[in-house]
Each structure stands twice: as structure tokens, then as C-alpha cells.
Homo-oligomer: A and B are copies of this chain.
Amino acid sequence: MNDRPIGVFDSGLGGLTVLKEIMKILPNENIVYFGDTARVPYGARSKETIIKYTFQAINFLMSKNVKAIVIACNTATARSLKEANEKYDIPIIGVIEAGARTAAYSTKNKIVGVIGTEGTIRSKAYNVEIGKIDKEIKIIDKACPLFVPIVEEGWSNTEIASLTAQKYLGELIEQGIDSLVLGCTHYPLLKRTVGEIVGENIKLVNPAKETAKDLKKILENKELIRLDDSIKPSYEYYVSDIPEKFASIGEEFLKKEIQDIKNVEIQKY
């Protein structure tokens, strides 16, 4: 039973930063990753469509006999996590709650910054989750549409990234945030650049890391941790379309070699 893999799902390759944190904190677990690269980005799609895509991803992962699923995509979490938990019995968690909770507990002056894609920022998903914990927290949010292509070009530590971060974050710093949620799965790659701009007094919250910690706790509580470490864990990668860059960019995200990426016809699930 405990040998069953963990399923990780994202609309593309951003979720690999979440996978990286899971591998780090749960180094003994088998994992199946699915990236819906044929239909990325989800941002502009309707709630109904995103629910359909999420259910297809979950059905596929369940066909691999997973014991728990992480929706490692902000858009899919915001639009479909609740519906997924109503429909399926296994534990399914998203990336928003853990990040929001960490920000809510780490802020001292109750001014929190949230950055993400235009879709995530427009959805106000982090604002809602943080508000559930503490209504008095003021949230300064900002869409940063250049950050994803900067990361995907491999330019995270260039002057372009630094100037862009200055432009996006100047306003948030001026308004006195003491915590900043990196609300997009691509952004952990910009941690160094963003950290240099905001300085040491602003705490960076990486929802990928917090989500991995939550997952570990859930597996422990449900006694689903893989205990037998005599056989090395296996990592499987599936995508709905193989973009040329998936392996090369993906390895940058994961800091690990990605072997044997398989194609899946996701619309059949």
C-alpha cells in the first residue's frame, strides 16, 4: 500500500518546482508527474473547462494507483480543488492554502505582498485564503507577466530579471510588506533575484515548499508514508504533448535529470 506513488499534476512544467520540494522532504516516495503541456496555459480558460481538465488529470493519475495527489498549479487549485475533493476519496491538496497560511502566520506588520500570473492575481485566491485566517491582513498584490517567460528563457539571474523585479516590486516594498508570497510555480527560480531586490527584511514565502510539508504531514497522519527504503524510489514523467524544451527547462526547474518523458492522450481519461 505505502509503495503506491504520489501523483503531482500541473498545467505545464511549473509544477516541477513543487515536485522538487516533495522529493527533498519525502525522498523515499515513488512519484508520478503529469504536465498538461498540450493545453497550457489554463489561465484564460473557464472554470468548467479547468474542472474537466483537472478531473482528467486525476483520473489518469489514479490509473497509476496513486495514494495522494498534489495539484501543483495555482490556476487549477483556485478553480477546481474544492470540486476535486468532493468527487474523489484520496487526499488531494493544492498549492495555495499552505502558502497563504505561512504568509498569514509569518507577517508581523500584517502587510503581505502576493505576486503571480495575471490569472492568479485576478482570481484573488491567495487573498481569500489569507483572509480566512486573519481578516486584518492587508494584501498588496501584483501580476508580474514577464516573470514566466524570463524563467523559461533561463534568464532568472540576469540584469533583465533584476530590472524587471525592481519595476514590479518597488511599489510593494514602498507599501511596507514584510512577507511576499511567490504565487506562481515558476517563481522559486527567481528567489535569488527577488531576494536581492526586496532585501533581508521581507520574508519570501515559497508555496511549493509549504505544500510539500503539508503533504508529508497528511501522509504521516494517514500512515501512507513509504517505509521500505531498500529499493530506490521511481519517478515517472507524463505530458500531454512533448514540447521541445520540456526536458531542458524542466531540469532547470527540478535541478535533476529528467529521463524518459512519456506522452499520454489525456482527453481519453
Residues on A facing B (Cβ under 8 Å): 38-41, 44, 145-146, 149-150, 152-153, 155, 158-160, 163-164, 167
**A6 CB → nearest B CB, Å:** 28
Residues of chain B within 8 A of A41, CB atoms compared:
44
Complex A-B, nearest 5 residue pairs according to Cβ-Cβ distance, in ascending order: A145-B149, A146-B149, A160-B163, A160-B164, A160-B160
CB<8 Å pairs between A and B, sample of 21: A38-B44, A39-B44, A40-B44, A41-B44, A145-B149, A145-B152, A145-B153, A146-B146, A146-B149, A146-B150, A146-B153, A146-B160, A149-B149, A155-B167, A158-B163, A159-B163, A160-B160, A160-B163, A160-B164, A160-B167, A163-B163
Q: How many copies does the complex hold?
A: 2
Considering residues A38, A149, A150, which has the most beta carbons from chain B within 10 angstroms of its beta carbon?
Answer: A149
Residues of chain B within 8 A of A146, CB atoms compared:
146, 149-150, 153, 160
Residues of chain B within 8 A of A40, CB atoms compared:
44
**A246 CB → nearest B CB, Å:** 13
CA distance A147 to B153 in the complex (A): 12
Considering residues A38, A39, A41, A150, which has the most beta carbons from chain B within 10 angstroms of its beta carbon?
Answer: A150
CA distance A150 to B168 in the complex (A): 12
**A128 CB → nearest B CB, Å:** 19
**A197 CB → nearest B CB, Å:** 14
Give the nearest-CB partner of A241 in chain B: B44
Considering residues A38, A40, A145, A160, which has the most beta carbons from chain B within 10 angstroms of its beta carbon?
Answer: A160
Supply 16 further A-B pairs (C-beta < 8 A) apart from A145-B152, A155-B167: A38-B44, A39-B44, A41-B44, A145-B149, A146-B146, A146-B149, A146-B150, A146-B153, A146-B160, A149-B149, A159-B163, A160-B160, A160-B163, A160-B164, A160-B167, A163-B163
CA distance A152 to B146 in the complex (A): 10
Considering residues A38, A41, A44, A152, which has the most beta carbons from chain B within 10 angstroms of its beta carbon?
Answer: A44
